[in-house]
Chains A and B, each alone.
Chain A
Amino acid sequence: DRVRSPAAGAVVTFSGTTRNSFEGKTVLSLEYEAYTAMAEKELRRVCEQVREKWADIIHLAIEHKTGSCPIGDTSVIIAVSSPHRASALEAAKFALDTLKANVPIWKKEIYAESDPAWKANKEFFEAHNVN
Chain B
Amino acid sequence: DDSHHKAADGRVMRVQVLYFARARELVGGLTREDWDIEPGWTTSDLQVAVLSRHSALEGLLRTCAWALNEDYIDGPAALKDGDQLALIPPISGG
Q: Mark A27-42, 1 if CB is under 8 A from B, else 0.
A: 0000011110111010
A118 and B89 in contact, given A128-B65, A130-B65, A131-B62 (Cβ under 8 angstroms): yes
Q: List 21 A–B pairs whose Cβ atoms lie within 8 Å, in order of A's numbering.
A: A33-B20, A34-B93, A35-B20, A35-B67, A35-B70, A35-B88, A37-B70, A38-B70, A96-B94, A100-B94, A102-B72, A105-B93, A106-B20, A121-B90, A121-B93, A124-B65, A124-B91, A124-B92, A128-B65, A130-B65, A130-B90
Min Cβ gap A62→B in Å is 10
A105 to B90, CA, bound (A): 9
Chain A residues contacting B90 (CB-CB under 8 Å) are 118, 120-121, 124-125, 130
Interface residues on A, range: 20 to 34
- Residue from the list A16, A34, A106, A130 in contact with B63, Cβ < 8 A: A130
Binding site for A on B (CB under 8 A): 18, 20-22, 62-65, 67, 70-72, 74, 86, 88-94
Chain A residues contacting B18 (CB-CB under 8 Å) are 35
Majority secondary structure, A binding face: mixed
A64 to B92, CA, bound (A): 12
Knowing that A100-B91, A120-B91, A124-B91 touch, tell me 14 more A-B residue pairs with CB under 8 angstroms: A35-B67, A35-B88, A38-B71, A38-B86, A76-B94, A104-B93, A106-B92, A106-B93, A107-B92, A118-B89, A124-B92, A125-B63, A128-B65, A128-B74
A32 close to B74 (CB less than 8 A): no
CB-CB contacts below 8 Å: A87-131 with B: 96, 99-100, 102-108, 118-121, 124-125, 128-131
